[in-house]
A and B are shown apart, each in its own frame.
Chain A
Amino acid sequence: MVLGGGTGGTLVANRLRRMLDTASAEIVVVDSDEEHLYQPGLLFVPFGLTSPGSLARPRRDQFRPGVLFRRAAVDRVDLVTDQVWLNDGTSLAYDVLVVATGARLVPEETEGLTGPGWMQKVFTFYTRDGATALEAALSRFTGGRLVVGVVDMPIKCPVAPLEFCFLADWYFRRRKIRDRVELTFVTPLDGAFTKATCNRELSGLLEAKGVSVVTEFNTGDVDGQGGRLTSFDGREVPFDLAVMIPLHGGQAYVDRSPGLGDALGFVPTDERTLQSKAKPNVFVIGDAADIPASKAGSVAHFEGEVLARNIARYLAGEPLDAAFDGHTNCFIESGFGKALLIDFNYDTEPVTGRFPGRVGLPLLRESRLNHIGKLAFAWLYWHVLLPGRDIPAVRSEMPTTGKRPQAADGSPGPPAKREAR
């Protein structure tokens, strides 16, 4: 039983359906709604580059024949009796459970964020409604202070707020009002990004595009009417328009399921096997897990192969032998038809070079080719990722050929090629 029919749930259900014959395993996916949203597309909506309607497709159409879809909201999981209780009072028994319900936005946990000014002067592009409303607000914006703020980590797609800044710079230049717009990026981190090597590259890009950065700012209060973010340590950042990335947590049913989640509602999970720490027959994929990897679709994709293999082995009574290496791969849209590409795992920082091999997309450098890669990704998402297929030449394990290795502190690494683990 797979809880959640988003990126991770869909691709693992489809992978398992291909691996396990229908006589030996029934696969059920439970989700509370019928619509599958292509979340990476939300970033482009506020700038009029994508229409919100084009981002969604019917959820049930994304499953292979033989995967059952059950539309229902989950009330709680009973780990003791291996049952999922639904909101309508019925229950479903499982042999193996996959938690794939992702992360949930909890804007109401930040003082004032959803108060006066919400969806008028304060927006988020992390929901379809928010991104759509923001498009209208941006088109009315004729100058002033635009603040892009991350309340706290973890968030889905940690590069998206930076991409928003880059695209905003491009957008206002195109409208020929860039000189009247003050762009500020506000982050609780001590730099623009979590990874040291890309932090340097991305900080340089922000500076080149005239985006000011306010670091170590833990937003305690959002005053939409007064146009002011206040940090817990008393600093203030004024704005005319704020684009906020709200706090994230796990789904509410996780909190209602004794022993399943942590304080934020994410599920403690073995970062290599993807088995939950709650019980051996519970596995986790994607944003719902507490593992130290980015909450991103590429992570769910790379986890899919590992997870399907481990579940098949678990069902066969064999020890789990597949190990996720933390592989993450992100295109970072930088405006003006260009993008960067980063590729890293638990042990290796994003480095320069090319991906997935010596002849490939340039890493950690702006290029038109990467922008085209980012656009092509939407097609791959529906036709390769969700069906649970491998992208040609892109494996679950992080590749090392074509890369220039670098130590975590940014100094040049050993000249010899490092092998992936």
Chain B
Amino acid sequence: MPTATYAGTEVTVNDEGFFTDPRQWAEDMAPQIACQEGLTELTDRHWQVIKFMRHEYEAKGTGPTVRVLGKTSGVPVKELYQLFPKGPAKIAAKIAGIPKPRGCI
């Protein structure tokens, strides 16, 4: 299993860089993960999404899709793409230290 070091702590990730154990995540790791994804600054709006992702994962066992995020996070889909241009659900999940949202079948 690959590992990564964020905020001085080693964590296990999968091949795509998603946390395999969300309990290893801490808030101070987020800026460094975000930076790897090309986001130099995490604004309050970014944090609103990241915290929502954590909350949804804890409640449901999987992160929400972009469409569900747009309906429930309080941040509309258009803005979600401005905040996380490379794909809100995927990138926010990575920064929030939760597994890649389970795709729909």
Interface pair B67/A152, CB less than 8 Å apart: yes
Q: Which residues of A contact B8 (CB under 8 A)?
A: none
B72: CB under 8 A from chain A?
yes
Interface pair A153/B85, CB less than 8 Å apart: no
B95: CB under 8 A from chain A?
no
B104: CB under 8 A from chain A?
yes
Interface pair A216/B104, CB less than 8 Å apart: no
Expressed in whole angstroms, the Cα–Cα distance for A293 and B103 within the complex equals 11
Known: A154-B105, A292-B105. A232 touches B77 (CB 8 A): yes
Q: Considering the complex, give the chain B residue whose CB is closest to the CB of A195.
A: B105
B35: CB under 8 A from chain A?
no
Interface size class of B (residues with CB under 8 A): 10 to 19
Q: Which residues of B contact A247 (CB under 8 A)?
A: 67
A259: CB under 8 A from chain B?
no
Q: Which residues of B contact A152 (CB under 8 A)?
A: 65-67
Q: Which residues of A contact B78 (CB under 8 A)?
A: 220, 232
| Complex partner residue of B104 from A194, A195, A232, A262, CB under 8 angstroms | A194
Q: Which residues of B contact A189 (CB under 8 A)?
A: 103
Interface pair B85/A233, CB less than 8 Å apart: yes
B4: CB under 8 A from chain A?
no
The contact string, 1 if C-beta is below 8 Å from chain A, for chain B 68-91, is 100110000110110001110000
Interface pair B87/A292, CB less than 8 Å apart: no
Expressed in whole angstroms, the Cα–Cα distance for A292 and B86 within the complex equals 25
Expressed in whole angstroms, the Cα–Cα distance for A189 and B86 within the complex equals 14
Expressed in whole angstroms, the Cα–Cα distance for A192 and B72 within the complex equals 28
Interface pair A194/B103, CB less than 8 Å apart: yes
Q: Considering the complex, give the chain B residue whose CB is closest to the CB of A326.
A: B105
B102: CB under 8 A from chain A?
yes
A218: CB under 8 A from chain B?
yes
Known: A152-B67, A216-B87, A218-B66. A263 touches B81 (CB 8 A): no
Expressed in whole angstroms, the Cα–Cα distance for A194 and B81 within the complex equals 23
Interface pair A292/B102, CB less than 8 Å apart: yes
Expressed in whole angstroms, the Cα–Cα distance for A247 and B65 within the complex equals 13
Interface size class of A (residues with CB under 8 A): 10 to 19
Interface pair B104/A153, CB less than 8 Å apart: yes
CB distance from A193 to the nearest CB of B (A): 10
| Complex partner residue of A158 from B65, B71, B87, B105, CB under 8 angstroms | B105
The contact string, 1 if C-beta is below 8 Å from chain B, for chain A 149-166, is 000111000100000000
Which of A158, A216, A264 has the largest count of B CB atoms less than 10 A from its CB? A264
Expressed in whole angstroms, the Cα–Cα distance for A293 and B71 within the complex equals 23
A294: CB under 8 A from chain B?
yes
Interface pair A153/B72, CB less than 8 Å apart: no
CB distance from B101 to the nearest CB of A (A): 11
Interface pair B68/A194, CB less than 8 Å apart: no
Interface pair B104/A154, CB less than 8 Å apart: yes
Interface pair B104/A263, CB less than 8 Å apart: no
Q: Which residues of B contact A218 (CB under 8 A)?
A: 66, 81
CB distance from B39 to the nearest CB of A (A): 14
CB distance from B5 to the nearest CB of A (A): 28
Expressed in whole angstroms, the Cα–Cα distance for A264 and B102 within the complex equals 16
Expressed in whole angstroms, the Cα–Cα distance for A262 and B104 within the complex equals 15
Q: Could you tell me which A residues sit within 8 Å of B by CB distance?
A: 152-154, 158, 189, 194-195, 216, 218, 220, 232-233, 247, 262-264, 292-294
Q: Which 6 A-B pairs have the closest CB atoms?
A: A153-B104, A232-B81, A154-B104, A263-B71, A263-B68, A263-B72
Task: List 15 interface pairs A-B (beta carbons < 8 Å), by A numbering.
Answer: A152-B66, A152-B67, A153-B103, A154-B104, A154-B105, A158-B105, A194-B105, A195-B105, A218-B81, A232-B66, A232-B77, A232-B81, A263-B71, A292-B104, A293-B105
Kindly list 13 other residue pairs between chains A and B, CB separation below 8 angstroms, not including A153-B104, A247-B67.
A152-B67, A153-B103, A153-B105, A194-B104, A194-B105, A195-B105, A232-B77, A232-B78, A232-B80, A233-B81, A233-B87, A263-B64, A292-B105
